[in-house]
Structure 1
Amino acid sequence: MKRAVFFAIITLLTVVVFGVTTINYMTFSAVPNHEDTLREIVKAFEAQNPGIRVNLVFVPWNDYFLKLSTMFAGGTPPDAFEINYENFVEYAADGLLMPLDELNKTNHFEATEVFTEKAYNAFSYQGKQYGFPESFSTVVLFYNKELFDEKGVEYPSANWSWIDEFNAALKLTDKENGIWGIYQPIQFWEYYKVIAQNGGAILNGNEVTVNNIAGINALKWLIDKPKYGIMPSEEEAGGLSSEDLFVMGKVAMVHTGIWMFSKFRDEAAFEWDIEVEPGMSTKATHYFANAVVASVNTPHKEAVWKWLKFLTTNESSVRIRIERGWELPAVSNHQLIDEFLKSSVAPKNKKAIFDSLEWAIVPPVVGGWSALADTVNKEIDAAKYGIKSPEKALNDLSAELKKRISE
């Protein structure tokens, strides 16, 4: 009898140990501020799915896609991973992603009723769904209310133009006390939005339009701020990020993403708020969307699908994300969004997030996305550092883009 019980226990333990499926999930958006947030979500998932373990792989944004491509090249990609909209098309076109449609059907999951339409459709390719939208975010104008009050400057409004922002930045700049009026990054991610605010575009379909007058003036708008003394130069910033300068009270306004909510809540010793970014001929704002996807050859398709669905749609996961300020979930659960809007945590003007989406644009998305962004950044840097005039930099960029499109 004892021997029978013993072997029954051994058999049970064997089933428990060998019945557990471990999947690897790689992320960039959790680094560095939301690693514990993701661990909390994993804990909730594993409690509901005791046969599945999620091994987290945290990789910073700057290293993420190089590591991911290296893993695919070496035949060891993660079972599931996070991907942004800009890189999605390239991975889908290369056949590296697992279609989700069949598993949605067999599990009776009506995804189109759960996710917001724009976010869900962003991660389909040639009629197949390859990703569940995980989150969306945008960039807004953050401002230090105390510095505005000290200088008697009116807070930003939704009607501001570039000129209003510039004039306010002049009044807020106090060089004697090491305070600047504004910080706006000078790089591709800002430029494609700023050129749209000025009525232009890098590409208009397959036509390269980056070097027209709208593009030239948009680039000057970005690179001239340090020249006017309203934004710190790289030397004056001393290696600190724009977000660190903001929480230190060194810049009165900063253009950055809503993913900075948690940092500013935790570290800023002053009251701050947000507004829709100013435009010039029109408004234009970012629409960043991240999705979770599966590697096409993962041996754990069902387990991975369950994890992707839980991470993006489970109410506990969605609540944790909202409460921790980790961007915003792409679900159409209006109750949860309303709770967020009515919550007392900063910022006060949360409505500006959703107002920004009315003006949302996306960057030009083509094959070889990373190379395209690098090419644009190279010429922006040449203008920023005075190596080339803005006109020369954009003419050279135009020639390079035309060459890439024709290949």
Structure 2
Amino acid sequence: MTFSIKSVLEVFLAFLKLGLTSFGGPVAHIGYFRAEFVDNRQWLDDESFLNLVVFCQFLPGPASSKVGIALGLRRAGWLGALAAWVGFTMPSAVALIAFALGAKQWTSLASSGAVHGLKIAAVAVVAQAVWTMGKAFCPDRMRVGLAVFAALVVWAVPGSVGQFGAIALGAVVGRWALRLDHLKPIAQHDYGVSKRTGALLLGAFAVLLVALPAIAASTGSFVIAAFTAMYQAGGLVFGGGHLVLPLLHAGVVPPGWVGNDAFLAGYGAAQAVPGPLFTFAAYLGTVMPSPLGGWAGGLLLLAAIFMPGFLLVVGALPFWEVLRQHVGVRQAAAGINAAVVGLLASALVDPVWTSAVHSVADAAMAVAAFVLLVAFKVSPVAVVGLAAVCGWLVL
């Protein structure tokens, strides 16, 4: 399977736009992705998109970035996967590296009115995703109930344990309780990755996860040790986003590589930039002592934290495409789809709504943005820009 440079450039520009405008964390990013690639560009349908989201939920690493890599691979092959990652990741990575190098004028950005407006826009984008996906994937009482119960599970058991519990519940209920009549055959999409290549990539992930700590311990190399800390954080955390912060803190603060104050300052700056929170690794690499530090250190640790997710997504996709053809798997996937709607609904309340809406005016802005998206079909980018301007004017 061959892809043109034009299709690779198309992927890069699409994800660059998202990398510059997608605020709100991984859940909001999924909403932005859906609006861009299902509604706007029509690269795939709702079912195929949510199928990728479900697939990526089962893999460790940055949640939204894994979906982006899979979309890029689907659209334009290996170079498309790389283009999607670069386009979505580099805006926030560059911003955080610049912040680490001393861009003092950005220190108040996290509390600015414009960024507050962007957080409110994320509320509307996620609400639109819950509304649209709920109608598509919760068509009966059982699946509506499953979505509600999944939301309650995530609320009662926060973190990755609750998320996986809700998804597992969806799979069990879907497999044994849902009866999907008149199932249409689904086409097996060729991502251009053979099972042999996929197995090699999965093997490489496992070997690096085991070998890197041993190499770091035997050589005493600071660079390898720092690379290992980022690789482990990217390869062991499910759900991405804020869940990676404890591992990052444990990896760089106790050894004395980064001071606690510097760590917290970087985390605050990471809240004020779009794109994946995993780009926080670029900030950490930039502020670390020699021989890391600067642009080179930032880019090295950025690559380290995203490498596991890249290997896992590309390596597992050819096996997933075969597995999802079976009727039992499709029944389980239908249950998982309903559970994911519940997860999105739970995240819409906390942390998306709770972190953005603090007043009646905030709530009014969020509702207005939602109406613009759903009723008037206004572009999400335009809604994001309008929300930023309104936030800047009001605060």
TM-score range, shorter chain: under 0.3
TM-score by length of 2: 0.24
RCO (CA 8 Å, sep 6+): is it higher in 1 or 2? 2
TM-score by length of 1: 0.23
